[in-house]
């Protein structure tokens, strides 16, 4: 064979050095989970802890999620950070509806998960009253490690695959 042509050995052992096989679905999920674009719907104290998570000490960009996008059309992971009160409910629903599939929701903090310690006349007792939630992160506020753990749990959920579209996953009416 001339020196200029490439020779590729066709034994299986050598094939492993240059290629790997997987399912298309797993490959896409790997891409999705490592490049979540969060929409920080920050209302209260948890938003400040999220700012610390995005900061240089806790650095959420190691997980690929540093591209915070405040437009729901450009984001795929809705992070609800802080108390959602009744007045804010329609706003949250509108933002969630505007997001494109596939989309996930992380309820950060106890206020978003269940109303927190505000058993009060104006506080929504958990955002799952109006939108479906994938991961609940407890804490008041959760430490940045907690928020990162929540994102890792979401990544696990994406890895497991299954139904991707939120509206099929949770049977939301269109």
Least Cβ distance, residue 152 to other proteins (angstroms): 20
* Nearer of residues 96 and 104 to other proteins, judged by Cβ: 96
27 binds other proteins (CB under 8 A): no
Is residue 89 close enough to count as binding other proteins by CB under 8 A?
Answer: yes
Q: How far is the CB of 83 from other proteins (least distance, A)?
A: 6
Q: Which residues have C-beta within 8 Å of that of residue 174, sequence separation ≥ 6? A: 167
* DSSP one-letter code for 34: T
Specify the DSSP element, H or E, that contains 57. none
83 binds other proteins, rule: CB under 8 A: yes
Query: Footprint of other proteins on this chain (CB under 8 A)?
Result: 41-45, 47-49, 51-52, 55-57, 70, 82-83, 85-95, 117-123, 125, 140-141, 143
């Amino acid at each position: 064979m001339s020196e200029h042509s490439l020779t590729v050995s066709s034994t299986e052992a050598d094939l492993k050095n240059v290629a790997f096989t997987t399912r298309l679905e797993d490959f896409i999920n790997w891409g999705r989970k490592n490049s979540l674009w969060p929409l920080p719907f920050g209302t209260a104290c948890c938003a400040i802890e999220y700012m610390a998570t995005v900061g240089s000490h806790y650095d959420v960009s190691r997980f690929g999620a540093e591209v915070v996008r405040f437009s729901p059309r450009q984001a795929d992971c809705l992070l609800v950070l802080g108390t959602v009160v009744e007045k804010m409910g329609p706003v949250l629903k509108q933002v969630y509806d505007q997001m494109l599939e596939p989309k996930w929701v992380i309820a950060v903090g106890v206020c978003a998960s269940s109303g927190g310690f505000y058993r009060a006349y104006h506080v929504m007792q958990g955002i799952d009253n109006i939108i479906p939630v994938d991961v609940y992160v407890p804490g008041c506020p959760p430490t940045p490690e907690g928020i990162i753990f929540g994102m890792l749990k979401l990544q696990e959920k994406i890895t497991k695959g299954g139904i991707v579209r939120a509206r099929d996953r949770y049977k939301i009416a269109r």
